[in-house]
Structure 1
């Protein structure tokens, strides 16, 4: 249990080993697995406890982080459907960032399953910045629509807002219905993998990524012609079915800066691989604790920085080509040369004055200026609920697995009967 307090948990094989070494007896893997579940519930509480604590947990969130946004959605019988959470520091910080987000979802490993939907931004130092999180029962039209409706309260529906995701149809529908002014781009990595698998041809991949990253249509068509040469069917699909404006930076109708994939959202999900089996309140509290530490580290780093721009921004200024200035909002080498002649004495500062404010150290500090107040684990653990305020979701993954096994058995039995019938018929005819 001490290992579980650290967040790693103890595996069934470790339990088997401990029992064997301490008591000199062997137990089955299944028994060790069940023992692990009991131990974890003793430390963290059960999945049912997590749902029942959602309403008081939301109250604690608003008391400690006053301008946070929480929303709990239940069905007619009071069963859990969706829970949305965005902490105050996330909401305030995103106002100072480039208006590009990545959206993704990952399945939870708890008793009742569910999906964690996340909205993540990327700061100018390529760090993951959370905007909002939401636990839903399924990935479907209704859940994605609810998610974006809640997000609309903290991120306005503006023309400079860009959303990057995979080609999930429910995401596409929700963006079309909720964020009518925003621009939707496709994750280039997901798209490339889909095209490779669909057409069984990976020879186009290097040309695809070069075309996707191109800043101008001329450079784009140079690489796209290579795609047409090595994989004509892939090129036709990218042009006619997907559309250049969905995956190419040169033709994208908004400004996605250098965010071409949804990798940052998947990086967020990978940060909480172990926590995905926690009760829902402990999952959100783990996210709170992790980013409270991250915010403090990045705020301290920006505060102690003596330069005008962030380190990675300085590197990009030196590497930029002339076509980058309109997209990345950074001065190109020609502009830098002109500034050095015009402002010889204050050349260093003038370069940053002609860059977007997004890349300045002051703006970076404002992004992480808000303090995330951590909610102690003991506080969540000690929430007592009189009556079950929120019931667990209706569908239990365990039951669904049993149904799948039963259907598979019936299918196999049917095939067996058909084969035996055919055999008897053949023998009879023979």
Structure 2
């Protein structure tokens, strides 16, 4: 197949693009295999919404995860979705992604920052908005597992409908909120605000906003930690405020002491109003197949997948430290996820009856 004339399938969701402009500038990209009788890969881009849920932005079906396909995908992503916004891209160590990030002018610094290895994460730990892995895109791949077994048109339809259901679900949930922050972030805020009331505060420079916080010593021996809060710089030595853009209990303690509104130091990306705006958009239905542009390419069938394999099919993904189980970690049951037994002798397993 002539790569120079190869065309791909891309679909981005307008409501998701609008929501992305209201959310933290960190995206996760990943690719996964189509599982049907077609050779192809599904590329996904996701981020998180104001309630820390996974928010899909764009999908693409390509022939292979090559440097050419990833460059094409990132070019479309910048043009249709990201535009001129500064981003941090979290990905695995695929050479096609690395090539695109290093060679596309619109994905170079200061418009984009690429992070994937532990060395880069450690050096930039306080600048990643709390997102340090590609788990959110891996989760979206798992959601789309059923779609990956289907023919291309059916895969697009199912993916579109699943995303539509996701937006409709969160839209209904968001409209019923009467708290300043969405439920998950509101619980976190209340928990930290409660802990803040037990901290011991020492004022060092009121005009400069420098305070020392000593946490309460607990019965089990934990606590009693000392942190320094630079209130106007919105930093704390615990690192949470700068990394998450969400105040830690030490910052909330200072905020209460100064008589400020604690919600005033929470970044707007976590507000209920932002959450409502992110999902308060209308989808445009996919046009009929007859109105699609003619393409000069074809995803080839993979006849090797039609044969019968003995045993478990061998995985092609690159394994990393998240796939390695610690030798001291006990094995857990696949049904109840509790240690000490397996599926066969689990109390949650259904009894089998032999035919008479």
**Structure 1: segments with no counterpart, 5+ residues:** 1-73, 189-243, 403-430
Which residue does 2:241 correspond to in 1? 325
Which residue does 2:327 correspond to in 1? none
| 2:52 counterpart of 1:180 | no
Which residue does 1:299 correspond to in 2? 171
Distance change in 2, residues 1:173/1:128 (3 Å): same
The alignment covers a number of residue pairs equal to 258
Structure having the higher Rg = 1
Distance change in 2, residues 1:156/1:336 (3 Å): same
Offset at 1:392?
4.9
Write out per-residue CA displacement over residues 313-340 of structure 1, whole angstroms, 9 at most, x where no aligned residue. 2343344983221221122323322332
1:314 aligned residue (158, 167, 186): 186
Distance change in 2, residues 1:292/1:124 (3 Å): same
Find the aligned partners of 2:92 and 2:66 in 1 and give their Cα distance. 14
Which residue does 2:69 correspond to in 1? 143
Which residue does 1:368 correspond to in 2? 279
Are the counterparts in 1 of residues 36 and 150 from structure 2 also a CA contact under 8 Å? Answer: yes
Find the aligned partners of 1:77 and 1:170 in 2 and give their Cα distance. 16
Find the aligned partners of 2:251 and 2:125 in 1 and give their Cα distance. 25
Which residue does 2:294 correspond to in 1? 389
Q: How does 1:242-391 map to 2 (within 5 A)?
A: 244=119, 246-248=120-122, 251-252=123-124, 255-317=127-189, 318-319=191-192, 322=236, 323-343=239-259, 350-375=261-286, 380=288, 383-384=289-290, 389-391=294-296
1:156 aligned residue (67, 83, 94): 83
Find the aligned partners of 1:357 and 1:145 in 2 and give their Cα distance. 33
Q: Provide the secondary structure at the position in 2 that maps to 1:334.
A: helix
Question: Could you tell me the TM-score, scaled by structure 2's length?
Answer: 0.65
2:31 aligned residue (105, 109, 119): 105
Distance change in 2, residues 1:393/1:247 (3 Å): same
Give the structure with the higher percent strand.
2
Offset at 1:119?
0.5
Are the counterparts in 2 of residues 106 and 117 from structure 1 also a CA contact under 8 Å? Answer: yes
Are the counterparts in 2 of residues 163 and 184 from structure 1 also a CA contact under 8 Å? Answer: yes
Offset at 1:395?
4.5
Find the aligned partners of 1:385 and 1:340 in 2 and give their Cα distance. 60
Offset at 1:126?
3.0
Distance change in 2, residues 1:261/1:187 (3 Å): farther
Q: Provide the secondary structure at the position in 2 that maps to 1:152.
A: helix
Offset at 1:120?
0.7
Distance change in 2, residues 1:400/1:271 (3 Å): closer
Give the structure with the higher percent helix.
1
Offset at 1:275?
1.5
Distance change in 2, residues 1:331/1:109 (3 Å): closer
The higher relative CO (CA closer than 8 Å, separation ≥ 6) is in 1
Are the counterparts in 1 of residues 32 and 41 from structure 2 also a CA contact under 8 Å? Answer: yes
Offset at 1:279?
2.3
Distance change in 2, residues 1:286/1:341 (3 Å): same
Offset at 1:184?
1.0
Compute the RMSD of aligned alpha carbons.
3.0
**Structure 2: segments with no counterpart, 5+ residues:** 194-226, 228-235, 308-356
Offset at 1:155?
0.4
Which residue does 1:229 correspond to in 2? none
Question: Could you tell me the TM-score, scaled by structure 1's length?
Answer: 0.54
Find the aligned partners of 2:176 and 2:11 in 1 and give their Cα distance. 31
Find the aligned partners of 2:251 and 2:142 in 1 and give their Cα distance. 40
Distance change in 2, residues 1:255/1:156 (3 Å): farther
Find the aligned partners of 2:4 and 2:72 in 1 and give their Cα distance. 19
Q: Provide the secondary structure at the position in 2 that maps to 1:307.
A: coil
Distance change in 2, residues 1:83/1:301 (3 Å): same
Q: Provide the secondary structure at the position in 2 that maps to 1:130.
A: strand
Q: How does 1:26-105 map to 2 (within 5 A)?
A: 81-105=7-31
Are the counterparts in 2 of residues 164 and 187 from structure 1 also a CA contact under 8 Å? Answer: no
Distance change in 2, residues 1:361/1:139 (3 Å): same
Are the counterparts in 2 of residues 162 and 183 from structure 1 also a CA contact under 8 Å? Answer: yes
Q: How does 1:4-23 map to 2 (within 5 A)?
A: none
Offset at 1:366?
1.1
Are the counterparts in 2 of residues 289 and 374 from structure 1 also a CA contact under 8 Å? Answer: no
